[in-house]
């Protein structure tokens, strides 16, 4: 535990404790799980809103409606709680798996457009946007925050590579390097999203489709047709 966290914990533990009205006695497993979810959700929302440094354990106690004893029995330090709250975020984000759309369409342009739309729609979600901002702000202190971002990029490249490899021959297209094509596509999507975040302006669905149409056409133009 760092000196600042030790000081914060001492201050929080010495402050007057307001115990929320809960049923006395040991909670049932279901109630204990619910308490933990309330703590993690409250912590996540506060970390997203105020950042790691400006969020105190006392703030989380108040927001979650639990006692200091309950909180510290589960999470001894703020860094432990921070990691656990973001693990919860990761599990929710990973539930939305990227999809090339190839079950809905077999042509390469349609599949790439479907993948791009889905990827950009996920990126528009506040949960993902807040997570990425936190990863940028606290990446040096918590390197594991960037692992989800990197994993999502790598998974996207693998998925698009497999789709191009499968779909291109059906249309008589020769793509010399499907992985390079997929990497260019996924990183272009990433750049589009990052630019939107930096500008503080979320692209509309129409703007996303316009961007995707131009990008997909450019990538396919780099392939050649079989004689």
Spatial contact of 185 and 116, defined as CB atoms under 8 Å apart:
yes
Evaluate if residue 166 carries a pLDDT over 80. yes
pLDDT score, position 181: 96
- pLDDT: which is higher, 51 or 124: 51
Secondary structure class of 211 (helix, strand, coil): helix
Q: Which helix (H) or strand (E) holds 164?
A: helix 145-170
What are the residue boundaries of the structural domains of the chain, listed by start? 28-82, 96-225
- Average pLDDT over the chain reads 82
pLDDT score, position 176: 92
Spatial contact of 48 and 63, defined as CB atoms under 8 Å apart:
no
Q: Which helix (H) or strand (E) holds 225?
A: strand 224-225
pLDDT (tens digit per residue) in 61-105: 999 999 999 999 999 999 999 999 988 887 776 654 444 444 455
pLDDT (tens digit per residue) in 3-37: 455 445 444 434 443 434 455 557 788 888 899 99
Evaluate if residue 57 carries a pLDDT over 80. yes
Evaluate if residue 154 carries a pLDDT over 60. yes
* C-alpha–C-alpha distance, residues 84 and 37, integer Å: 10
- pLDDT: which is higher, 213 or 123: 213
* C-alpha–C-alpha distance, residues 165 and 158, integer Å: 11
pLDDT score, position 103: 47
Q: Which CATH architecture has domain 28-82?
A: Orthogonal Bundle (1.10)
What CATH fold (topology level) applies to the domain 96-225? Tetracycline Repressor; domain 2 (1.10.357)
């Amino acid at each position: 535990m760092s000196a600042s966290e030790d000081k914060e914990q001492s201050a929080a533990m010495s402050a007057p404790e307001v115990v929320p009205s809960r049923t006395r006695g040991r909670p049932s497993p279901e109630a204990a799980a619910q308490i933990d979810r309330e703590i993690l959700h409250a912590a996540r929302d506060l970390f997203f809103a105020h950042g790691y440094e400006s969020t105190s354990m006392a703030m989380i106690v108040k927001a979650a409606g639990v006692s200091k004893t309950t909180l510290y029995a589960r999470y001894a330090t703020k860094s432990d709680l921070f990691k656990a709250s973001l693990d919860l975020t990761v599990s929710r984000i990973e539930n939305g798996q990227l999809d090339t759309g190839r079950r809905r369409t077999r042509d390469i342009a349609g599949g790439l457009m479907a993948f791009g739309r889905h990827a950009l729609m996920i990126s528009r979600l506040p949960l993902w946007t807040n997570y990425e901002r936190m990863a940028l702000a606290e990446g040096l202190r918590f390197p594991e925050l960037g692992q989800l971002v990197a994993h999502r990029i790598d998974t996207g490249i693998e998925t698009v590579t497999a789709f191009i490899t499968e779909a291109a021959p059906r249309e008589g297209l020769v793509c010399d390097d499907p992985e390079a094509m997929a990497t260019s596509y996924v990183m272009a999507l990433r750049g589009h999203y990052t630019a939107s975040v930096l500008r503080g302006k979320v692209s509309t669905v129409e703007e996303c489709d316009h961007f995707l149409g131009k990008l997909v056409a450019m990538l396919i133009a780099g392939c050649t047709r079989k004689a």
